[in-house]
Structures are given as structure tokens and as C-alpha cells.
Amino acid sequence: MQLFERLRAGAPGPWARYIGHPFVRALGDGTLPREKFQRFLIQDYLFLVQYARAWMLLAYKLDEPAEMREAMATATALLETELPLHIGYCAGWGIVEAELAAAPASLECIAYTRYVLEVGHAGDALELMAALAPCIAGYAEIGAALAPGLAPDNPYRDWVAAYTGADYLGSVTAALALMQRLAERAGAEARFEKLQRIFTQATACEAAFWETGWR
């Protein structure tokens, strides 16, 4: 079993709360109030800026130039693909990017981003990957679960589609392959319990992050 699969299996409760949060279910059936989605997108914009920084930090911690390029490619995709998706949605509501950038971060956003960056600064590349993986892999799982049941008039179809497209899924595959290579080189088995704690905490942060829009 690959490291990601083991870590996911080791956090069944937090993972289920993350993937099956009421916010996600309402998004899928199209009943999520626009103001809740708007609050979430603003906070997710702030989160993604810091998440991109964490991928850049991963590039710094990697030894192989090819792997450094992979990490930087993910950071670039976050800044050039995911952020514009959020900016585009908000522009339709009359909210410009400068307002997004100036918005106060929620406690959930602060806690999550600080945790990931703290893991990255204190640990090595593999530990940072354990903190990064729930976000990138979880959104692909959410997209795959929601896409088949989306109604044609679901207002969030484009958002879900962004996480089911070939480009995003390719990024997920590359990230998990990198994680596995690091696991094989960096002695994952000897410190599996620590990696599990990091992964489980990051997953719990993901589940809590939905509350920025849901409450």
C-alpha cells in the first residue's frame, strides 16, 4: 500500500468529516446559499496563497532538481489556475482581487496555514508532504464524488469541474508519486506514527476549514 493510502486509512474520522462535510453535500446538490460559498471562496483565496508558499518551501527542501520543478509547478498551478478561478467567481459578485487579498483571515484559515508552514519549517520534505497531501488529494476525491450527480443548473458546476479536469488530476498524481518516492528514500516506516499525526491534523484542519463558509 502506498504511503498516502496508509495515511488516509489511518485517519478515517477526520477524512470522513472532510470529504462529507455538510458544506460539500450542499455544494453538490446546488442548495448551498451563495453567501456561504462567497465567504468560503474569500477564505480559500487567502489559504491558497499560503498553500502555494508551502509548495515553494517544499521545493527548497527537495534535493533533486526534477522534483524541485515538480513542486514549483504545483505552486504555479495554484497561483495561475486555482486563484484565478476564485477571482473570477468573486468578480461576478463585484469583489475585486485587492479586496480578497485585504480580507481578514478566519481563525480556521490562520490555524491551518500556520500549521502546514510550521511543519514545513521544522521538518523535512516528507513531513511537509504529509501536511500538504490532504488538500490536493482530498479535493480530487470530492470532485470525483460530486461530479456524476451534478444537475445541469447547479451554480457550482464550474468549481467542481476544476477539480475533476485532467490538469488537476495530473497534479494530484504527480504529488502522490513524489510523496511515495520521498517515503522510500527518507525512512517513512521508522517514523510512520509522526507522519500519521501530521496527516491527521492537516485533515482535521481541512474539515474545520469548511466552517468558514458553512457557519
Catalytic positions: 135, 206
H/E/C letters for each residue in the chain?
CCHHHHHHHCCHHHHHHHHCCHHHHHHHHCCCCHHHHHHHHHHHHHHHHHHHHHHHHHHHHCCCHHHHHHHHHHHHHHHHHHHHHHHHHHHCCCCCHHHHHHCCCCHHHHHHHHHHHHHHHHCCHHHHHHHHHHHHHHHHHHHHHHHHHCCCCCCCHHHHHHCCCHHHHHHHHHHHHHHHHHHHHCCCHHHHHHHHHHHHHHHHHHHHHCHHHHC
Residue 110 sits at the vertex; the CA angle it makes with 108 and 116, to the nearest 5 degrees, is 100
Residue type present at position 68: M
